[in-house]
Amino acid sequence: MPRIQGVDLPNNKPIYISLTYLYGVGRARAIEMCFSLGIEPMRKAIDLTEDEISHINAYLDKEIVIEGQLRRSVQQDIARLREIHCYRGTRHRRSLPVRGQRTRTNARTRKGVKKTVAGKKGVKDMRH
């Protein structure tokens, strides 16, 4: 199981799929990385040599922001939006959708589990 940038990559998958286990690396970037380093993207991750793994690590250090550094950067960006009290920062603070989605229905991922609010009593209940 090759270990790249502190992440264990799965052995039995092609290297371009295995590289997507790194935070900040998607399929397109993984394929681009393989071609620029001269590694066949369809080779299994277990077949990588120590030399190739060191080349991948060096490339990632030089060219791409990934893992902890990228997570920190994203958190700092969100904190900045909150501090300047812009619209997006306010939406982050209230745990509401940030990118213009509707909230009347279908915002469960951001809002969490439904909190039922007691409604008014109906007309039928008022007669008795």
Q: Which residues does 72 contact at the CB level (< 8 Å), separation at least 6?
A: none
For the stretch 72-119, pLDDT in tens is 999 999 999 999 999 999 999 999 999 999 999 999 999 999 888 888
Name the pTM for this structure: 0.75
Pick the CATH number of 70-128 from 4.10.910.10, 3.40.50.1170, 3.40.50.10470, 3.40.50.10860: 4.10.910.10
Q: How many CB atoms lie within 10 A of CB 97?
A: 15
CB 110 within 8 A of CB 95: yes
CATH architecture under which domain 3-63 falls? Orthogonal Bundle (1.10)
